[in-house]
Amino acid sequence: MTPEVRLGAAISIEGLQFAYGSGPRVLDIPSLVIEGGSRVFLHGPSGCGKTTLLGILSGVLQATSGEVRVLDRDLVTMSGSQRDSFRAEHVGYVFQQFNLIPYLSAYDNIALPCRLDARRRARLGSTSLDDAIRNVAAQLDISALLDQTSTTLSVGQQQRVAAARALIAAPELVICDEPTSSLDTDRRDAFLALLASSVARANATLLFVSHDASLGARFDQQLSLPTLNRSSRADAA
Amino acid sequence: MKLLFSLAWRSLRNRPVTSMLTVAAVALSITLLLGVEQARRGMRESFTGTIKGTDLVVGARGGTLQLLLGSVFGIGSPTGSVPYAVYEQWAQHPAIRWTVPLAIGDSHRGYRVIGTTTGLFEHWRYRSSGTLSFATGQVIASDSDVVIGSEVAAKLGYGVGSPITVGHGLNAVAGLGDHESHPFRVVGVLRQTFTPLDRALFVTLDGIEAMHGAESGTMPGGTMPGGTMPGGTMPGGTMPGTVMPGAGLPPAMPGAASPAGVMPGATVPISPAPSNVFQDEPRALSAFLVGTKTRFETLRLQREINQYKAEPLTAVIPGVTLAELWKTLGTIEGGLRLVGALTIVVGLIGMLVALYSSLEARRREMAVLRAVGARPSMIVALLVLESGLLTLLGCALGIGLVMGGFALAQGVIEGNTGVHIAVQVPGALEWAYIAVVLTAGILVGLVPAWRAYRSSLADGLSPRL
């Protein structure tokens, strides 16, 4: 939450190219900038490289070439374990589904990032981990579920637990990969409202990816990956 | 690390059936491997510890092992009999410090009755120079005195003063062929020694004689009265109605049933002779124990006894004969150890299969861990820790099973074989086995760990399910 990051771009991409191994190029993005603190909707059909881009932005995947700056750090020049630490400290991630470690309770799932990484834990400042978990659980309306095993939760409840885990200790960047696609409309709307308010409270940048363009209106900025990604344009042609 | 441990533990608990079966497979293979080792060590210590301080065991010419097992360990029958006169002659030998005669062949309710002298209580040593001592009472003196081992006292509820009748033959059925006309009375109870002495009764040689002598000619056909001729051989000696199965005397074991009454070489029971002749001097022993004056004399004396022309004798050094036994058993032990090692391999392969096949279902879990910041090395560590934990639990359970199993089986083993196997904490060799198994378990964990590592790198955050 350093001021310069807040003021500058949360994500800035220059000439990004990516291919899995020696396979075909999946991503070719000349330029992309996402302002800090904004809530961005990234839209694209299935298979256009959305998840791959998120993998690169979270530091799990390494760009083949180009510059990828996240929170003013150049991920391309960082080592794998540096990127892992970076992700643990600064990024919250919500999957489409199956977000939770099945053998941990909701509480322990939410605690996981802080237990895994001391610097993420340090972001809590003087707040205890237990308080932080209960606060974020209250925001997402899952206080009553904390002691339950993940497998006993409904899909909507699981997604809210996942959001709580992504938001714990206020990371600067929250990435959501189609988190609502397995929810019905009512639950989807409720989830999006909770997510939006929690992200706003944490002052985080939100990157929300979906194939469902109808969700875009709820966000500050809408991007279309096929438009950004020259590789998918080539595929389409 | 604490987190990893907790994750590994909960992950295993999340798959209770697979985990428990894996632990059980490892535990059973450890049980087998350690059990063989434990039995081997226990048996050796039990045997070696039973007879300390005795330099030679001398009996009729025969197998060294049979002589030692039959006379000292109460397993099988002694090789034959040694005429008393021969014993007396050797007892005077200048190299010999002490001798203890043993007349074996009768029993009381399944326990061996041994005719001996008070020298037994004085010279017998067990374990690390443990001497025999009395829980109550005193040594045998008169021919109706009997001293009993601790187990005899405990199992049959005897104490000083209890009357005892002795049955004929080592496997005598109670009441059948008992020497009822010569009852004994318990004068002493030995403290527990965890040796075959606990399961024996001791009477004087005169007692043996009196018992057999008193009934001479009165026994029903088939049992063997004490009437035989000293040192005589009586080929084909017969007695009316002496077809022997009723006496429980295997014909192949000459002298086994009644050392006091059988001569060397006599395979058939002999017709009764006037009993009064032998009332005071027993004519034959099963064996005698020898303590030499110096260790150096032992080998020379052994050779001398073995080459004795007047009477075919066998002298054995207990330790040497036991070493021969261990050598013979070594092949079997090696085979069992190999089987144990192979079951360990099978157990670990079972674990490998269980972990490996669970990976597919766990790719999602690995992706989640990566997403919250886990390094790929943590995925490896998690899986290795899981296999390590399974192996560790298996080893711990295996050790428990071995110890518990031996504690439970101790009585049965002792009852059936006469071998007391002390429950022992695993020794250096066992710990080495366990260390090898643990290492192997961890190495086995590297296989699924490596695959998970590769796939989590390739999958990134989107495992292709």
Question: Is pLDDT at B326 greater than 70 in this prediction?
Answer: yes
Mean pLDDT throughout B418-429? 79
Mean pLDDT throughout B351-355? 87
> Among B13, B372, B461, which would you mutate to test the A interface (most chain A Cβ atoms within 10 Å of its Cβ)?
B372
The one-letter amino acid code at B379 reads I
Sign of the CA dihedral with A163 first, then A167, A171, and A172 last: positive
Q: At CA B270, angle to CA B264 and CA B275, rounded to 5?
A: 100
Confidence of residue B282 (pLDDT cuts 50, 70, 90): low
| CB-CB contact of B33 with B343 (8 Å) | yes
pLDDT value at residue A233: 54
Beta-bridged to residue A34, according to DSSP, are A11
> Left (φ > 0), alpha (ψ -120 to 50) or beta: where does B383 sit?
alpha
For residue B235, give both structure tokens: 């080929």
What does the alpha-carbon distance between residue B188 and residue B152 come to, in Å, rounded to a whole number? 12
Q: Is A122 exposed, middle or buried (0-12, 13-18, 19+ CB in 10 A)?
A: exposed
For residue A163, give both structure tokens: 């959001």
Confidence of residue B168 (pLDDT cuts 50, 70, 90): confident
pLDDT tens-place string over residues B103-122:
998 888 889 999 999 999 99
What does the alpha-carbon distance between residue B249 and residue B172 come to, in Å, rounded to a whole number? 9
pLDDT value at residue B130: 80
* End-to-end alpha carbon distance in chain A: 42
| CB-CB contact of A70 with A57 (8 Å) | yes
pLDDT value at residue A215: 87
Mean pLDDT throughout A163-183? 89
The Cβ of residue B220 has, within 10 Å, a number of other Cβ atoms equal to 10
A144: closest CA of chain B, how far (Å) = 22
CATH number at residue A32: 3.40.50.300
Question: Is pLDDT at B398 greater than 90 in this prediction?
Answer: yes
Asked whether the whole model's pTM tops 0.90, one would answer no
Confidence of residue B177 (pLDDT cuts 50, 70, 90): low
Chain-centroid distance, C-alpha B379: 50
Mean pLDDT throughout B239-260? 40
pLDDT value at residue B176: 56
Question: Is pLDDT at A236 greater than 50 in this prediction?
Answer: no
Mean pLDDT throughout B64-81? 87
Among chain B, residues having any CB pair with chain A shorter than 8 Å are: 3, 7, 10-11, 13-14, 364-365, 367-377, 458, 460-462
| CB-CB contact of B185 with B162 (8 Å) | yes
| CB-CB contact of B137 with B131 (8 Å) | no
Length of chain B as a residue count: 465
Taking CB atoms and an 8 Å cutoff, what residues of chain A touch B375?
A: 80-81, 84
pLDDT value at residue B220: 37
Mean pLDDT throughout A57-63? 88
Q: Is B111 exposed, middle or buried (0-12, 13-18, 19+ CB in 10 A)?
A: buried
pLDDT tens-place string over residues B438-448:
999 999 889 98
B397: closest CA of chain A, how far (Å) = 24
| CB-CB contact of B61 with B79 (8 Å) | yes
pLDDT value at residue B418: 65
pLDDT value at residue B464: 56
Place of tokens 């008070």: B118
| CB-CB contact of A42 with A207 (8 Å) | yes
Question: H/E/C letters for each residue in B306-370?
Answer: HCCCCCCEEEECHHHHHHHHHHHHHHHHHHHHHHHHHHHHHHHHHHHHHHHHHHHHHHHHHHHHH
User: Residue ranges of the domains in chain B?
Assistant: 2-47+325-459, 56-218+246-316
What does the alpha-carbon distance between residue B77 and residue B56 come to, in Å, rounded to a whole number? 18
- Nearest partner of B264 among B214, B314, B220, judged by Cα: B314
Cross-chain CB nearest to B365 (options A91, A101, A113): A101
Confidence of residue A86 (pLDDT cuts 50, 70, 90): very high
Question: Is pLDDT at B281 greater than 80 in this prediction?
Answer: no
Question: Is pLDDT at B207 greater than 60 in this prediction?
Answer: yes
Length of chain A as a residue count: 237
| CB-CB contact of B259 with B285 (8 Å) | yes
| CB-CB contact of B459 with B367 (8 Å) | yes
Residue by residue, DSSP assigns B379-436 as: HHHHHHHHHHHHHHHHHHHHHHHHHHHHHHHHHHHHHHH----------HHHHHHHHH
Residue span of the structural domain in which A210 resides:
3-236
Between residues A162 and A232, which one has the greater pLDDT? A162
Place of tokens 């318990």: B186
Please tell me what DSSP assigns to residue A47: T
In terms of DSSP bridges, do strands B125-126 and B130-131 run parallel, antiparallel, or are they unpaired? antiparallel
Question: A170-188 burial by CB neighbour count: b if 16+ within 10 A, else e?
Answer: bbbbbbbbbbbeebeeebb
B229 SS3 class: coil
By mean pLDDT, which of B124-138, B222-236, B334-348, B359-373 is the weakest? B222-236
Residue by residue, DSSP assigns B148-214 as: E-HHHHHHHT--TT-EE-PEESTTPPTTSSB-TTS-EEEEEEEPP-SSGGGGEEEEEHHHHHHHHHH
For residue A205, give both structure tokens: 């940048």
pLDDT tens-place string over residues B28-71:
999 988 888 888 888 888 888 888 889 999 999 988 999 998 88
Q: At CA B2, angle to CA A129 and CA A159, rounded to 5?
A: 50
**Inter-chain residue contact B371 with A93, CB threshold 8 Å:** yes
pLDDT value at residue B409: 86
Cross-chain CB nearest to A84 (options B373, B458, B462): B373
pLDDT value at residue B204: 92
What does the alpha-carbon distance between residue B114 and residue B185 come to, in Å, rounded to a whole number? 15
pLDDT tens-place string over residues A4-17:
444 578 999 999 99
pLDDT value at residue B429: 86
pLDDT value at residue A90: 92
| Highest-scoring range by mean pLDDT, A49-53, A152-156, B300-304 | B300-304
**Inter-chain residue contact A93 with B374, CB threshold 8 Å:** no
Taking CB atoms and an 8 Å cutoff, what residues of chain B touch A89?
A: 373
B379: closest CA of chain A, how far (Å) = 12
A67 SS3 class: strand
> Among A100, A112, A159, which would you mutate to test the B interface (most chain B Cβ atoms within 10 Å of its Cβ)?
A112
**Inter-chain residue contact A103 with B462, CB threshold 8 Å:** no
Question: Is pLDDT at A178 greater than 90 in this prediction?
Answer: no
Question: Is pLDDT at B393 greater than 50 in this prediction?
Answer: yes
**Residue pairs between chains A and B whose CB atoms are closer than 8 Å:** 69
Question: Is pLDDT at B199 greater than 70 in this prediction?
Answer: yes
What does the alpha-carbon distance between residue B374 and residue B381 come to, in Å, rounded to a whole number? 11
Between residues B272 and A34, which one has the greater pLDDT? A34
Helix axes B318-371, B428-459, angle to 10 degrees: 20
Q: Which residues contact A100 (CB under 8 A, 6 or more apart)?
A: A106, A109, A150, A153, A158, A161, A162, B368
By mean pLDDT, which of A105-114, A116-125, B35-44, B108-117 is the weakest? B35-44
Question: Is pLDDT at B235 greater than 70 in this prediction?
Answer: no
Question: B423-435 burial by CB neighbour count: b if 16+ within 10 A, else e?
Answer: eeebeeebeebbe
* Long-range own/partner contacts, residues B414-423 (CB < 8 A, 24 or more apart): B417/B75, B418/B73, B418/B74, B418/B75, B418/B196, B418/B199, B419/B42, B419/B43, B419/B46, B419/B47, B419/B73, B420/B46, B420/B194, B420/B195, B420/B198, B421/B38, B421/B39, B421/B42, B421/B43, B421/B46, B422/B42, B422/B45, B422/B46, B422/B194
| CB-CB contact of B215 with B178 (8 Å) | no
Among chain A, residues having any CB pair with chain B shorter than 8 Å are: 20, 51-52, 54-55, 58, 60-61, 80-81, 84-85, 87-89, 91, 93, 95, 98-104, 112-113, 115-117, 120, 165, 177
* Mean per-residue pLDDT of chain B: 80
pLDDT value at residue B300: 92
Confidence of residue A47 (pLDDT cuts 50, 70, 90): confident
Confidence of residue B245 (pLDDT cuts 50, 70, 90): very low
Maximal C-alpha separation, chain B:
102
Place of tokens 């378990």: B441
Of all residues in chain B, what percent carry a pLDDT higher than 70? 80
**Inter-chain residue contact B461 with A51, CB threshold 8 Å:** yes
Could you give the number of structural domains in chain A? 1
The Cβ of residue B308 has, within 10 Å, a number of other Cβ atoms equal to 17
A127 SS3 class: coil
| CB-CB contact of B388 with B442 (8 Å) | yes
